[in-house]
Structure 1
Amino acid sequence: MNELVVVIDFGGQYNQLVARRVRENNVYCEIYSYRTPLHEILARHPMGIILTGGPSSVYEENAATCTAELFEAGIPVLGLCYGAQLMSYVLGGEVRRAADREYGKTETIFDTTSPLFEGIPDKSIVWMSHFDYISKLAPGFESIAHTASTPVAAAQNRERKLYAIQFHPEVLHTEYGKEILFNFVRNICGCRGDWKMDSFVESQIR
């Protein structure tokens, strides 16, 4: 049975690209809607879970959401953009609307002592696309990246292997996005990278 990383889809535009980036690290990946019951996802025994971006605000009524149990399953979780805000919000942090949208290529300062940012420069360009921001960290989290206008561009609870990043590592505009996803999938989740894309193609054809 292949090692698995699950992408939970919150309606973002880059969901397929996130899954593709995981597979480029020779790790099998499946996408599930946020409406999928958590027990069904956990029954697949994923080694890691990635929460995607989304079009709404986490504090809106009827916004796409998840339960705190997702973060208590002992599985590494990486939240991207909306997924980062959702992780913070569900676990007791605060998310607010910014005065101005942060959009486009943005210089970001990284704490490279974090396992998520191992081996990348302490300053590089990322792709931002958000109105909301994490205004207060959830208990047990610390900021591990910031920009001129965003004090929490990324956060971690290292002990629980929970990581939240406000930018999009899956797009090529983020200079070291592939390295960040490699660090999560291979180093933090512990996937060996023994899956091959051609075996996936063969199984789909069958």
Structure 2
Amino acid sequence: MDTDARTHRVSTSDDVEVSTYLGIAQALQGEEPIPQHTTPLSGREAIVILDFGSQYSMLIARRIRECRVYCEVLPYDTPWEKVEPLNPRGFILSGGPASVYSEGAPLAPTYVYEKHLPVLGICYGMQAIAHQLGGQVSPGENHEYGHAVLHLDAGDSPLFSGLPPSGPVWMSHGDVVSQLPPGFRALAYTENSPL
């Protein structure tokens, strides 16, 4: 929530509506509207979810926000000029219906890798990372759809610290990463997805 520093009153959606109407009225009279927030994102950091058409992107965002972390869901091809003001601290590449080896398949923008920020790929997002960074993605012998058991093989990786060695997950994919990119290591697997 935003607080007006002059009144110490919490801003509400009504304030935005009133501010918008005031701006319209001033513009009609030839006046310049008074900017309400010249730098609305200053000091804020965000996790940016790049959406490849997943059914679950909004659920992912909700879970992140429940952890009291600000995030935004944007189309996968959003240019850096629109992402930069969000002050990203990491990216999540969502799942989606495409196959990375299909002609014209959507891929992550190069800034995702060039900014040296943490990147989490989920389903298609993981496959895009593998494909773009020199690994291989292939059609799976068995499609996974539904419940599966994820087994962790993370060693001392802090990514999964505190989690049990296996647990139920929901899987929905037909392709698999068949070869990891150079420098990558697998941290978990299911019966049908060894990487």
TM interval, shorter chain, is 0.7 to 0.9
Question: In the alignment, which of 142, 146, 151 is matched to residue 189 of structure 2?
Answer: 146
The residue number in structure 2 matching 1:115 is 158
Distance 2:80 2:183 in 1: 23
The residue number in structure 2 matching 1:98 is 140
- Residue 72 of structure 1, CA deviation: 2.3
The answer to whether the 8 A contact 2:44-2:87 is kept is no
Percent identity over paired residues: 45
Structure 1 runs (4+) greater than 4 angstroms displaced: none
Is the partner of 1:106 in helix, strand or coil?
A: strand
- Is structure 2 residue 137 aligned with structure 1 residue 137? no
User: Deviation digits for residues 120-170 of structure 1, max 9, x if unmatched?
Assistant: 011111111100000000111001011222111xxxxxxxxxxxxxxxxxx
Distance 1:58 1:126 in 2: 23
Tell me which amino acid in the other structure corresponds to 2:152: F
Tell me which amino acid in the other structure corresponds to 1:147: T
* Alignment size in residue pairs: 152
Is the partner of 2:86 in helix, strand or coil?
A: coil
Distance 2:169 2:73 in 1: 24
- Is structure 2 residue 82 aligned with structure 1 residue 40? yes
Larger radius of gyration: 2
Tell me which amino acid in the other structure corresponds to 1:115: P
The residue number in structure 1 matching 2:57 is 15
The answer to whether the 8 A contact 2:76-2:109 is kept is no
Gaps of 5+ in 2: 1-42
The residue number in structure 2 matching 1:86 is 128
The answer to whether the 8 A contact 1:93-1:137 is kept is yes
User: Deviation digits for residues 158-189 of structure 1, max 9, x if unmatched?
Assistant: xxxxxxxxxxxxxxxxxxxxxxxxxxxxxxxx
Question: In the alignment, which of 63, 75, 95 is matched to residue 53 of structure 1?
Answer: 95
Gaps of 5+ in 1: 153-206
- Residue 99 of structure 1, CA deviation: 1.8
Distance 2:68 2:153 in 1: 27
**TM-score under structure 1 normalisation?**
0.70
The answer to whether the 8 A contact 1:5-1:30 is kept is yes
The answer to whether the 8 A contact 2:64-2:70 is kept is yes
Distance 1:87 1:47 in 2: 18
- Residue 69 of structure 1, CA deviation: 3.5
The answer to whether the 8 A contact 1:111-1:117 is kept is no
Distance 2:178 2:69 in 1: 34
The answer to whether the 8 A contact 2:46-2:89 is kept is yes
